[in-house]
């Protein structure tokens, strides 16, 4: 994405940079089967924002998020009595050279930008200040808490909180549930775990339950486990038995499947269906 003008509205800035978070499968642009087969991770995992006017720095360091804006009073409209046509205010021309003063690349981590954190922090403050929610959380009445937040906090002026907005503000590489967000708000969990951290935990549970004897095959078993949990396409191929489709699959290939011991080819799908919640791994 390119920012070729200054942006002063935080709402506009969020919408602009949000374009980069849209999903994209780069295999759509590859027509060479040999090249396609070599692409292991075709989904977009990051994007770059070319900011020529320090907008990121402005919303990170300068913008006053606590300022209360005063709306101007509407002026009564008066009919125009002048017959003089409006004149063109003209254009601005810069005869000098187009020089970039400096170039700096900054990586935005999982904490996201300040503008995202501020939105999440406002939600945290609103939730903690609500006595009904606080009492229900302390009593462990999570169904009541979630129902109350959906009815009384979401889609209300002035912030118009939604679960989708909170997920984007949290800047986590997987789908967060409302309960998990509220657990973080009330300090019941220290942070949001990444997708890979959860996958490692789920695989550790699988190993503890099933106790594989084939130590040398553990990496292959883990690869299959993670691919099956995170990919709808892999699950469809395995469940329908269309294993020839793995030959061109960029996530989990025929070679990967052959490396998995035979009994785990059926054991892992059965285990995942019974014990793993797939919704949390959706990006």
Name the residue among 257, 250, 251 with its Cα closest to residue 220.
257
Name the residue among 274, 281, 219 with its Cα closest to residue 266.
274
Residue bearing the bigger pLDDT, 25 or 111: 25
* Cβ atoms within 10 Å, residue 90: 6
Task: Copy the structure tokens of residue 136.
Answer: 């229900």
pLDDT reading at 87 higher than 60: no
How distant, in Å, are the alpha carbons of 47, 170, 225 from that of 57? Answer: 18, 19, 41
pLDDT tier for residue 76 given thresholds of 50, 70 and 90? confident
Lowest mean pLDDT segment, chosen from 7-21, 25-39, 98-112, 171-185: 98-112
pTM of the model: 0.59
């Amino acid at each position: 994405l390119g920012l070729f003008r200054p942006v002063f509205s935080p709402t506009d800035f969020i919408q602009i940079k949000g374009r980069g978070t849209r999903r994209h499968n780069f295999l759509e642009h590859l027509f060479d089967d040999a090249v396609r087969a070599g692409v292991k991770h075709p989904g977009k995992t990051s994007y770059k924002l070319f900011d020529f006017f320090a907008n990121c720095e402005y919303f990170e360091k300068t913008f006053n998020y606590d300022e209360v804006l005063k709306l101007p009073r509407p002026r009564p409209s008066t009919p125009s009595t002048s017959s003089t046509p409006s004149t063109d205010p003209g254009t601005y021309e810069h005869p000098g050279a187009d020089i970039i003063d400096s170039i700096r690349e900054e990586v935005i981590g999982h904490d996201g930008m300040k503008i995202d954190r501020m939105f999440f922090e406002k939600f945290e403050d609103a939730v903690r200040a609500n006595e009904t929610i606080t009492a229900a959380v302390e009593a462990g009445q999570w169904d009541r808490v979630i129902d109350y937040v959906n009815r009384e906090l979401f889609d209300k002026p002035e912030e118009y909180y939604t679960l989708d907005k909170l997920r984007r503000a949290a800047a986590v590489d997987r789908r967060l549930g409302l309960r998990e967000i509220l657990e973080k708000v009330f300090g019941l969990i220290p942070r949001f775990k990444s997708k890979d951290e959860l996958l490692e935990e789920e695989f550790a549970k699988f190993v503890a339950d099933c106790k594989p004897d084939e130590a040398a095959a553990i990496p292959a078993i883990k690869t299959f486990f993670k691919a099956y949990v995170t990919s709808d396409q892999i699950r469809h191929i395995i469940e329908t038995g269309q294993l020839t489709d793995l030959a061109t699959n960029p996530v989990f290939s025929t070679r990967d499947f052959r490396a998995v011991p035979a009994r785990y080819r059926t054991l892992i799908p059965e285990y995942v269906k019974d014990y793993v919640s797939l919704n949390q791994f959706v990006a």
